Amino acid sequence: GENVGLHLPTLSVQEGDNSIINCAYSNSASDYFIWYKQESGKGPQFIIDIRSNMDKRQGQRVTVLLNKTVKHLSLQIAATQPGDSAVYFCAEMGDSGGYQKVTFGIGTKLQVIP
């Protein structure tokens, strides 16, 4: 079935180091992928997205990599800061009978150690 999952439920990173959060997806028809950040008590916040015709996209301190061959998505955060502590989850989107169905992953908790 369609499933979006994450390899690591919790990731601890030293402040200043780079963080890599991974996501596996199973629907090869998905053509749009989004990373969200969710802080405690808040709603998910859009970080960065990538469409299936690309394999890399960069934002401010963040990079998303897409490997369609192995159906893998990753989020890289450069120079991780305490404010980056949150739950990060990926979402995949693809056409499902005329509707762009979105499937969300469970999330990875990123803990930044000062």
Q: How far is the CB of 103 from another protein (least distance, A)?
A: 7
Taking CA 7 as the corner, what is the angle to CA 89 and CA 40, rounded to the nearest 5 degrees? 35
Q: Does 110 bind another protein (CB under 8 A)?
A: no
Residue 80 has a CB neighbour count (10 Å cut-off) of: 22
Q: Does 45 bind another protein (CB under 8 A)?
A: yes
In the set 1, 41, 83, 114, which binds another protein (CB under 8 A)?
41
Secondary structure (3-state) at 42: coil
Q: How far is 40 from 109, CA to CA, in rounded Å?
A: 11
Binding site for another protein (CB under 8 A): 4, 31-32, 34, 36, 41-46, 49, 89, 93, 99-100, 102-107
